[in-house]
Amino acid sequence: MKKIIVGATGAIGSAVAKKLVNSGSEVHLVGRNQSSLEALASELNSTYTVADVLEDGFAQKILSDLNNSAIDGLAYCVGSIELKPLKLSKKEDFNKTFNLNLVSATEIIRATYDQLKTNNGSIVLFSTVAARKGFTNHSIISSAKAAVEGLTVSLAAEFAPNVRVNCIAPSLTKSKISEFLTKNEKMAEAIAKSHPLKRIGEGVDFASIVEFLLSQNSSWMTGQIIGVDGGRSSVV
Protein backbone atom coordinates (compact mmCIF):
# COMPACT_ATOMS: atom_id res chain seq x y z
CA MET A 1 0.00 0.00 0.00
CA LYS A 2 1.17 3.48 -0.82
CA LYS A 3 0.24 6.87 0.54
CA ILE A 4 0.30 9.80 -1.89
CA ILE A 5 1.82 13.03 -0.61
CA VAL A 6 0.94 15.99 -2.85
CA GLY A 7 3.13 19.01 -2.17
CA ALA A 8 5.87 16.67 -0.99
CA THR A 9 8.77 19.13 -1.22
CA GLY A 10 7.14 21.77 0.98
CA ALA A 11 7.91 22.17 4.66
CA ILE A 12 4.87 20.16 5.76
CA GLY A 13 4.79 17.66 2.91
CA SER A 14 8.45 16.69 3.25
CA ALA A 15 8.15 16.30 7.02
CA VAL A 16 5.08 14.11 6.55
CA ALA A 17 6.81 11.98 3.93
CA LYS A 18 9.85 11.42 6.14
CA LYS A 19 7.69 10.53 9.14
CA LEU A 20 5.66 8.02 7.16
CA VAL A 21 8.68 6.31 5.66
CA ASN A 22 10.45 6.19 9.02
CA SER A 23 7.35 4.51 10.42
CA GLY A 24 7.39 1.84 7.72
CA SER A 25 4.91 3.21 5.17
CA GLU A 26 5.48 3.43 1.44
CA VAL A 27 4.87 6.83 -0.09
CA HIS A 28 4.49 8.29 -3.56
CA LEU A 29 5.75 11.86 -3.69
CA VAL A 30 4.24 14.58 -5.86
CA GLY A 31 5.74 18.02 -6.44
CA ARG A 32 6.53 20.49 -9.17
CA ASN A 33 10.21 21.15 -8.36
CA GLN A 34 11.96 18.29 -10.12
CA SER A 35 15.38 18.59 -8.49
CA SER A 36 13.99 18.89 -4.96
CA LEU A 37 11.55 16.06 -5.56
CA GLU A 38 14.18 13.74 -6.98
CA ALA A 39 16.48 14.43 -4.03
CA LEU A 40 13.73 13.65 -1.51
CA ALA A 41 12.66 10.54 -3.41
CA SER A 42 16.25 9.33 -3.44
CA GLU A 43 16.60 9.97 0.29
CA LEU A 44 13.40 8.07 1.05
CA ASN A 45 13.74 5.44 -1.71
CA SER A 46 10.27 6.41 -2.89
CA THR A 47 8.45 6.67 -6.19
CA TYR A 48 7.45 10.12 -7.36
CA THR A 49 5.67 12.24 -9.94
CA VAL A 50 6.80 15.66 -11.11
CA ALA A 51 3.55 17.55 -11.60
CA ASP A 52 1.99 20.97 -11.17
CA VAL A 53 -1.50 20.63 -9.69
CA LEU A 54 -2.65 23.63 -11.72
CA GLU A 55 -1.97 21.80 -14.98
CA ASP A 56 -4.66 19.75 -16.70
CA GLY A 57 -4.18 16.00 -16.38
CA PHE A 58 -1.91 16.08 -13.32
CA ALA A 59 -4.01 13.50 -11.46
CA GLN A 60 -3.90 11.02 -14.31
CA LYS A 61 -0.14 11.53 -14.55
CA ILE A 62 0.17 10.53 -10.89
CA LEU A 63 -1.93 7.40 -11.43
CA SER A 64 0.16 6.47 -14.47
CA ASP A 65 3.39 6.77 -12.48
CA LEU A 66 1.90 4.67 -9.67
CA ASN A 67 1.52 1.85 -12.20
CA ASN A 68 -1.45 0.19 -10.48
CA SER A 69 0.10 0.31 -7.00
CA ALA A 70 -2.48 -0.03 -4.23
CA ILE A 71 -3.31 3.27 -2.50
CA ASP A 72 -4.65 3.63 1.04
CA GLY A 73 -3.85 7.24 1.86
CA LEU A 74 -3.77 10.72 0.36
CA ALA A 75 -2.36 13.86 1.97
CA TYR A 76 -2.92 17.05 -0.03
CA CYS A 77 -0.26 19.29 1.54
CA VAL A 78 -0.63 22.13 -0.94
CA GLY A 79 -1.11 25.72 0.12
CA SER A 80 -0.56 29.36 -0.72
CA ILE A 81 -0.46 32.71 1.01
CA GLU A 82 -2.10 35.45 -1.03
CA LEU A 83 -2.47 38.52 1.17
CA LYS A 84 -3.93 41.80 -0.06
CA PRO A 85 -6.88 44.08 0.63
CA LEU A 86 -10.04 43.08 -1.21
CA LYS A 87 -10.07 46.37 -3.11
CA LEU A 88 -6.66 45.52 -4.60
CA SER A 89 -7.54 41.93 -5.44
CA LYS A 90 -8.62 40.63 -8.83
CA LYS A 91 -10.85 37.81 -9.96
CA GLU A 92 -7.72 36.00 -11.13
CA ASP A 93 -6.32 36.01 -7.56
CA PHE A 94 -9.38 34.18 -6.29
CA ASN A 95 -9.50 31.80 -9.25
CA LYS A 96 -5.88 30.74 -8.89
CA THR A 97 -6.10 30.34 -5.12
CA PHE A 98 -9.32 28.32 -5.29
CA ASN A 99 -7.94 26.15 -8.10
CA LEU A 100 -4.73 25.44 -6.19
CA ASN A 101 -6.23 24.76 -2.78
CA LEU A 102 -9.68 23.36 -3.57
CA VAL A 103 -10.33 22.37 -7.17
CA SER A 104 -7.08 20.47 -7.68
CA ALA A 105 -7.68 18.64 -4.40
CA THR A 106 -10.99 17.40 -5.81
CA GLU A 107 -9.20 16.25 -8.97
CA ILE A 108 -6.78 13.94 -7.17
CA ILE A 109 -9.47 12.75 -4.77
CA ARG A 110 -11.74 11.85 -7.68
CA ALA A 111 -8.91 10.03 -9.42
CA THR A 112 -7.92 7.96 -6.38
CA TYR A 113 -11.33 7.39 -4.81
CA ASP A 114 -11.91 3.86 -6.12
CA GLN A 115 -8.55 2.69 -4.75
CA LEU A 116 -9.10 4.45 -1.44
CA LYS A 117 -12.57 2.91 -1.13
CA THR A 118 -11.27 -0.59 -1.86
CA ASN A 119 -8.54 -0.23 0.76
CA ASN A 120 -10.57 1.62 3.44
CA GLY A 121 -8.26 4.58 2.98
CA SER A 122 -7.93 8.01 4.48
CA ILE A 123 -7.63 11.54 3.09
CA VAL A 124 -6.00 14.49 4.86
CA LEU A 125 -6.53 18.03 3.59
CA PHE A 126 -5.11 21.33 4.82
CA SER A 127 -6.97 24.50 5.73
CA THR A 128 -5.73 27.47 7.79
CA VAL A 129 -6.52 29.14 11.09
CA ALA A 130 -7.63 32.11 8.97
CA ALA A 131 -10.62 30.15 7.65
CA ARG A 132 -12.41 30.65 10.96
CA LYS A 133 -10.56 33.53 12.60
CA GLY A 134 -10.65 36.89 10.91
CA PHE A 135 -7.37 38.44 9.79
CA THR A 136 -6.93 41.61 7.75
CA ASN A 137 -6.05 41.12 4.06
CA HIS A 138 -6.79 37.36 4.17
CA SER A 139 -10.01 37.33 2.12
CA ILE A 140 -8.52 35.34 -0.77
CA ILE A 141 -6.82 32.53 1.13
CA SER A 142 -9.32 32.39 3.99
CA SER A 143 -12.27 31.91 1.66
CA ALA A 144 -10.46 29.23 -0.35
CA LYS A 145 -9.42 27.32 2.75
CA ALA A 146 -12.90 27.67 4.26
CA ALA A 147 -14.10 25.94 1.11
CA VAL A 148 -11.61 23.14 1.82
CA GLU A 149 -13.20 22.73 5.25
CA GLY A 150 -16.61 22.53 3.61
CA LEU A 151 -15.26 19.92 1.20
CA THR A 152 -13.89 17.95 4.13
CA VAL A 153 -17.17 17.56 5.97
CA SER A 154 -19.15 16.99 2.78
CA LEU A 155 -16.86 14.23 1.53
CA ALA A 156 -16.66 12.69 5.00
CA ALA A 157 -20.42 12.19 4.80
CA GLU A 158 -20.38 11.11 1.16
CA PHE A 159 -17.49 8.64 1.48
CA ALA A 160 -18.42 7.05 4.81
CA PRO A 161 -17.93 4.33 5.91
CA ASN A 162 -15.27 3.37 3.37
CA VAL A 163 -13.00 6.42 3.22
CA ARG A 164 -12.28 8.85 6.04
CA VAL A 165 -11.68 12.55 5.34
CA ASN A 166 -10.14 14.95 7.85
CA CYS A 167 -8.52 18.37 7.68
CA ILE A 168 -5.71 20.12 9.55
CA ALA A 169 -5.85 23.89 10.05
CA PRO A 170 -2.36 25.32 10.71
CA SER A 171 -1.31 28.79 11.70
CA LEU A 172 1.73 30.39 10.08
CA THR A 173 4.45 27.81 9.45
CA LYS A 174 8.05 28.33 8.37
CA SER A 175 8.23 27.45 4.69
CA LYS A 176 9.23 28.78 1.31
CA ILE A 177 5.83 30.36 0.76
CA SER A 178 5.92 32.16 4.12
CA GLU A 179 9.45 33.52 3.79
CA PHE A 180 8.14 36.98 2.88
CA LEU A 181 6.64 37.10 6.38
CA THR A 182 9.27 35.25 8.42
CA LYS A 183 12.53 36.52 6.91
CA ASN A 184 12.07 39.84 8.70
CA GLU A 185 13.25 39.10 12.23
CA LYS A 186 11.07 41.69 13.94
CA MET A 187 7.98 40.65 12.00
CA ALA A 188 8.63 36.97 12.73
CA GLU A 189 9.05 37.73 16.41
CA ALA A 190 5.79 39.69 16.51
CA ILE A 191 3.91 36.87 14.76
CA ALA A 192 5.39 34.31 17.14
CA LYS A 193 4.28 36.39 20.14
CA SER A 194 0.71 36.46 18.80
CA HIS A 195 0.52 32.71 19.44
CA PRO A 196 -0.04 31.43 23.00
CA LEU A 197 2.85 28.98 22.47
CA LYS A 198 5.09 31.88 21.37
CA ARG A 199 6.59 30.45 18.23
CA ILE A 200 5.90 29.96 14.53
CA GLY A 201 5.06 26.46 13.32
CA GLU A 202 7.52 24.03 11.75
CA GLY A 203 6.77 21.37 9.16
CA VAL A 204 7.59 18.65 11.67
CA ASP A 205 4.75 19.87 13.92
CA PHE A 206 2.30 18.27 11.49
CA ALA A 207 4.05 15.00 10.69
CA SER A 208 2.78 12.87 13.56
CA ILE A 209 -0.83 13.97 13.32
CA VAL A 210 -0.93 13.34 9.56
CA GLU A 211 0.58 9.91 10.15
CA PHE A 212 -2.12 9.26 12.76
CA LEU A 213 -4.95 10.42 10.49
CA LEU A 214 -3.70 8.28 7.60
CA SER A 215 -3.46 5.19 9.82
CA GLN A 216 -6.07 2.84 11.22
CA ASN A 217 -5.32 4.29 14.66
CA SER A 218 -7.77 7.05 13.70
CA SER A 219 -10.37 4.64 12.29
CA TRP A 220 -13.22 6.32 14.22
CA MET A 221 -12.40 9.85 13.05
CA THR A 222 -13.83 11.54 9.99
CA GLY A 223 -15.10 14.99 9.09
CA GLN A 224 -12.86 16.70 11.65
CA ILE A 225 -11.13 20.08 11.30
CA ILE A 226 -8.13 19.94 13.62
CA GLY A 227 -6.28 23.08 14.64
CA VAL A 228 -2.50 22.72 14.84
CA ASP A 229 -1.84 26.38 15.35
CA GLY A 230 0.05 27.14 18.54
CA GLY A 231 -3.25 27.93 20.22
CA ARG A 232 -3.99 30.85 17.89
CA SER A 233 -7.55 29.77 17.09
CA SER A 234 -8.87 29.21 20.58
CA VAL A 235 -6.57 30.58 23.31
CA VAL A 236 -6.35 34.31 23.98
Tell me the mean pLDDT in the region 35-62. 98
Cα→Cα distances 141→87, 171, 219, 220, 222, Å: 15, 12, 30, 30, 24
Q: How confident is the model at residue 176 (pLDDT cuts 50, 70, 90)?
A: confident
Is residue 32 included in any domain, yes or no?
Answer: yes
Is residue 16 included in any domain, yes or no?
Answer: yes
Q: What's the whole-number average pLDDT of the chain?
A: 96
The 10s digit of each residue's pLDDT in 49-65 is 999 999 999 999 999 99
Q: What is the CATH number of the domain that holds 134?
A: 3.40.50.720
CA distance 188 to 199: 9
Looking at residue 207, what is its pLDDT?
Answer: 97
- Domain boundaries, position 13: 2-228
Is residue 137 included in any domain, yes or no?
Answer: yes
Is residue 233 included in any domain, yes or no?
Answer: no
Is residue 234 included in any domain, yes or no?
Answer: no
Is residue 236 included in any domain, yes or no?
Answer: no
Tell me the mean pLDDT in the region 62-81. 96
Question: Between helices 34-44 and 11-22, what is the axis angle to 10°?
Answer: 20
Q: How confident is the model at residue 177 (pLDDT cuts 50, 70, 90)?
A: confident
- Kindly tell me if the per-residue pLDDT of 30 is higher than 70: yes
The 10s digit of each residue's pLDDT in 91-116 is 999 999 999 999 999 999 999 999 99
CA distance 156 to 124: 11
Is residue 235 included in any domain, yes or no?
Answer: no
- Kindly tell me if the per-residue pLDDT of 180 is higher than 90: no
Is residue 207 included in any domain, yes or no?
Answer: yes
**Overall domain count for the chain:** 1
Looking at residue 227, what is its pLDDT?
Answer: 97
pTM as predicted: 0.96
3: three-class secondary structure by DSSP: strand
Cα→Cα distances 4→20, 28, 76, 227, Å: 11, 5, 8, 22
Q: Is the backbone peptide bond immediately before 170 cis, with ω within 30 degrees of 0?
A: no
DSSP 8-state secondary structure symbol assigned to residue 103: I
191: three-class secondary structure by DSSP: helix
CA distance 200 to 221: 27
CA distance 116 to 159: 10
